Structure 1
Amino acid sequence: MPTDVVMPQMGESITEGTITKWLKKVGEAVQRDEPLFEISTDKVDAEIPSPAAGVLKEIKITEGTTVTINTVVCSIDEAGSASAPPASAETAATPAIDSSTPAAVDLPSANENPPENSAVQPSATEAPGTEVLMPQMGESITEGTITKWLKKVGDSVQRDEPIFEISTDKVDAEIPSPVAGKLTEIKVAEGTTVQINTVVAVIGGGAAKPAVAPAKPATPAAAPAAAPTNAQASEGGRIVSSPLVRKIASDNNVNLAQLSGTGASGRITKADIVGHLEGGAKPAPNAQPSVSAVQSAPATTAPVKAAAPAPQPGELVPMTKMRSIIAKRMVESKQTSPHVHTIFKVDMTRIVKLREREKNKYEQRNGAKLTYMPFITRAAVQALRKHPVVNAAIQGDAILYNRNINIGIAVALDWGLIVPVIKGCEEKNFLGITRSIIDLADRARSKKLAPDEVSGGTFTITNAGIFGEQFGTPIINQPQAAILGVGGLNKEALVLTDKDGQDTIAIRSVQRFTLGFDHRIVDGADAGKFMSDFKAYLENWSEDIG
């Protein structure tokens, strides 16, 4: 009798889990307690062992799918029955939902137009195509916009290779292929918004059909070669780079195949192409380096000298999906919360000297650059501990005092703004916050954030001071109660009073911070106390930075 394997509960508060990887294929033998699949929850990542010995008979849930606890995810034939279908080349790459249906999460809706030549049934030896669906990128997400196809009909794709880009209310992301094969059909054109679980493409399953609309190649076409010449070209024939890099390359007639990427898996970064345009990049080596598990190169702030041409006066340029969402959210926030702002001037001299003294040793010791943002974040966390109303939110006629301190850090992108969230900041030390900030910012710029990494924030920090402004009056990120704006760091003359009451004038490093708060829930006195404690923590810094 088959044994059902369920999604386990990995903690008292855990209600769901995501299957991130299957470690066995349908038809393979498994031993009791042998790792069967990997899951990820909001608390842990874990390998889940098999509850019985036998043969993996059926996989019901595909990789990347989130299900509630106790959902049946697969079944094991304890008798080792030979009824399990043998794994074909395609099923070896990805588990099938069911051995008798195409490998897709959902079947097409009843009102969907039948495919051409629907009367012709596939032969017994012809595997059906794998339908690629518009994924659900978060619990509240109901639709997504396809912003760019990275492959065109007829192209070969590798499993987990990005095939299209989407934009939703929460994130912009590259969507990987669920299987290896050939892209035979594109059903949804670029710029189209569709509901989740809509079939947007088909991989394999017969002759290629024309795309719905002419799909542009992801990168400028390179001259044919007998073998790839660099690490980028080796990954399924695709040059690994971000949309921004490809746009810069297209605008400047740069053949990306001639560049050597420094990012993860040979990805060409913005820094790589900027260096090439400035004449500092080296040609790609002929030998193909092995792909190693290295971290992405830190994002550069160097300006792109040859960027896309600016819009001309009088030109009407449609908003991008992200820009239209930002516009809508900003208007909603101003209509929802009565905004009040208070500005404090903070003497950062102590921290500036500490950073200058320790930054080289810190990077050598921890592999992370020492910036000012972890200092600011830690000070905010300590102040939020003492003043939980600033970390709260309004729900109807009640106030929700959040259990955790989840700090959102605004990241400016070349195509918009995104706010990844560091969860559980009250449990992290200085080094933990440093690493989280670097990791989330890097993945935000390369469109690698998961939906839950841009939701659930309880307080936001936005740093516009890097552009030179003294201070700003930021808009609250709903449904939060407050947002902290970081101003520029500059040297100023300050009057200092010693313990004897004597005044002197000294050159100090000064920074202005603005707290924008919702006056429905946070009073002026609460805001003032919060900022006073925040200021004192920074000016009298005594914490070990690790």
Structure 2
Amino acid sequence: MRKRVIASVTQEGWKKIPHVSYVYEADVTKVYEEFKKLKASGRYRGNITFNTLLLRVIVEGIKSAMQLNAEVRYSSFLISGQMTVKDKININMPVLLPDGGMVTVNLRDMGNKSLGDMAEQIESIKEKVGSCDMEASLLKVGLKDTLRNLQRGKLGKVIGRGLGIVTGHRRSAAGTPKKKQGIILSREVLDQGTITVSNLGAAVKGTRGRVALLDIIPPQVCAIGIGVLQEEPGVYLTEDKMTRIGIRKVIPFTIAFDHRALDFGEVAPFINRLEEVFNNTEIIRTW
């Protein structure tokens, strides 16, 4: 069931969306040092990880470029469409399952949460995912999506998806040994968000490389990938504005966007805000 869902949404995205991708290489040396201080301070109740801090930085960037947090409905037949910017930042984030697979969860209203609140929500969802019955959860959400499409009059899509859900569930049930049933995740956890952020570095720690392109899941217009933290030689400015060469901590951020809805002019404020935060770490002390 999980693979069928992924295949469906990614195929739709690549058929309809003209993807553009940009890799922004961020010097996160200062932020990493600030993170260690925050971690040692005992200020937060939950487990504050560097990945959670990076997600909070990305949210700050999205606030400066809210057109990335939008959905687009476009008709190639009519050569027209509509783009709707969303007020709340609901982040779709892939999470590792106990069996090594991945599922995308919805981190809701991240734009109005503190760093500590974000960490608690992420930990809570990871605990739920770790003890859930994923096949049953996806089946439940799929059936609700089918009913929603029926209400919108999309009969062809309803028939095709309905048949796929039923036959796919029977095949997976027939070929999988019975196991103790876990909790059923709510639609709120698995529903479509407003933008996707993938922490690719967490899945391939200790490697080198950059992600060239990401899937954009319609009707979203943007997907962001956090790469692997790396140490590289680089030029930087000291506190007294002197130029130095040294070992820096660098993370590549991949930004893929729908060229029907966005161009680089809308993406630039996002990158500029990230650059500002990474170079002025006192900002994160207010989170």
What is the TM-score normalised by the length of structure 2?
A: 0.72
CA distance in 2, matches of 1:441, 1:415: 14
The answer to whether the 8 A contact 1:471-1:486 is kept is no
Query: What secondary structure is seen at the aligned counterpart in 2 of 1:495?
Result: strand
The answer to whether structure 1 residue 401 and structure 2 residue 142 are counterparts is: no
Q: Which has the higher contact order (CA 8 A, sep 6+)?
A: 2
Query: What secondary structure is seen at the aligned counterpart in 1 of 2:46?
Result: coil
Q: Give how far 1:545 is off.
A: 6.3
The answer to whether the 8 A contact 2:18-2:260 is kept is yes
For residue 189 of structure 2, what is the aligned residue in structure 1?
A: 453
The answer to whether structure 1 residue 389 and structure 2 residue 67 are counterparts is: yes
Query: What secondary structure is seen at the aligned counterpart in 2 of 1:384?
Result: helix
Q: Which runs of 5+ in 2 are unaligned?
A: 75-80, 133-182
Q: Give how far 1:415 is off.
A: 5.1
CA distance in 1, matches of 2:87, 2:188: 17
For residue 418 of structure 1, what is the aligned residue in structure 2?
A: 103
The answer to whether the 8 A contact 1:471-1:485 is kept is no
Query: What secondary structure is seen at the aligned counterpart in 2 of 1:420?
Result: strand
The answer to whether structure 1 residue 463 and structure 2 residue 199 are counterparts is: yes
Q: Give how far 1:499 is off.
A: 7.6
For residue 214 of structure 2, what is the aligned residue in structure 1?
A: 474
For residue 285 of structure 2, what is the aligned residue in structure 1?
A: 544
The answer to whether the 8 A contact 2:47-2:120 is kept is no
Q: Give how far 1:350 is off.
A: 1.5
Query: For the aligned residues, what is the CA RMSD?
Result: 2.1
The answer to whether the 8 A contact 2:48-2:116 is kept is no
CA distance in 1, matches of 2:24, 2:114: 25
Q: Give the aligned residue type for 1:532.
A: N
Q: Give how far 1:516 is off.
A: 0.8
The answer to whether the 8 A contact 2:208-2:230 is kept is no
The answer to whether structure 1 residue 532 and structure 2 residue 272 are counterparts is: yes
**Per-residue Cα deviation, 1:297-354 (whole angstroms, up to 9, x for no partner):** xxxxxxxxxxxxxxxxxxxxxxxx2112212221111112111110111111122112
The answer to whether the 8 A contact 2:93-2:105 is kept is yes
Q: How does 1:237-252 map to 2 (within 5 A)?
A: none
CA distance in 1, matches of 2:16, 2:220: 11
The answer to whether the 8 A contact 2:24-2:271 is kept is yes
Q: Give the aligned residue type for 2:198.
A: T
For residue 327 of structure 1, what is the aligned residue in structure 2?
A: 7
Name whichever structure is richer in helix by fraction.
2
Q: How does 1:92-103 map to 2 (within 5 A)?
A: none
Query: What secondary structure is seen at the aligned counterpart in 1 of 2:60?
Result: helix
**Per-residue Cα deviation, 1:272-297 (whole angstroms, up to 9, x for no partner):** xxxxxxxxxxxxxxxxxxxxxxxxxx
* Identical positions, percent: 24
Q: How does 1:118-517 map to 2 (within 5 A)?
A: 321-362=1-42, 365-396=43-74, 397-413=81-97, 414=99, 416-447=101-132, 448=183, 449-466=185-202, 467=204, 468-472=207-211, 473-498=213-238, 502-517=242-257
Q: 1:488 to 1:545 in 2, by over 3 A?
A: farther
CA distance in 2, matches of 1:434, 1:539: 23
Q: 1:520 to 1:450 in 2, by over 3 A?
A: same
CA distance in 1, matches of 2:239, 2:50: 29
Q: Give how far 1:538 is off.
A: 2.9
Q: Give how far 1:469 is off.
A: 4.5
Q: Give the aligned residue type for 2:235.
A: V
Q: 1:366 to 1:388 in 2, by over 3 A?
A: closer
Q: Give the aligned residue type for 1:504.
A: R
CA distance in 2, matches of 1:394, 1:496: 40
Query: What secondary structure is seen at the aligned counterpart in 1 of 2:217?
Result: coil
The answer to whether the 8 A contact 2:64-2:269 is kept is no
- Match of residue 260, structure 2, among 520, 523, 539: 520
Query: What secondary structure is seen at the aligned counterpart in 2 of 1:521?
Result: coil
Q: 1:356 to 1:415 in 2, by over 3 A?
A: closer
Query: What secondary structure is seen at the aligned counterpart in 1 of 2:261?
Result: coil
The answer to whether the 8 A contact 2:201-2:229 is kept is yes
Q: Give how far 1:502 is off.
A: 4.4
Q: Give the aligned residue type for 1:390.
A: L
Which of the pair has more CA radius of gyration? 1
Q: Give how far 1:461 is off.
A: 0.9
Q: 1:505 to 1:430 in 2, by over 3 A?
A: same
CA distance in 2, matches of 1:454, 1:407: 11
* Displacement over 6 Å in runs of 4+: none
Query: What secondary structure is seen at the aligned counterpart in 2 of 1:538?
Result: helix
Q: How many residues get paired?
A: 224
The answer to whether the 8 A contact 1:482-1:518 is kept is yes
**Per-residue Cα deviation, 1:195-216 (whole angstroms, up to 9, x for no partner):** xxxxxxxxxxxxxxxxxxxxxx
Q: Which runs of 5+ in 1 are unaligned?
A: 1-320
Q: Give how far 1:412 is off.
A: 2.4
The answer to whether the 8 A contact 1:465-1:471 is kept is no
The answer to whether the 8 A contact 2:277-2:284 is kept is no
Q: Give how far 1:523 is off.
A: 0.4
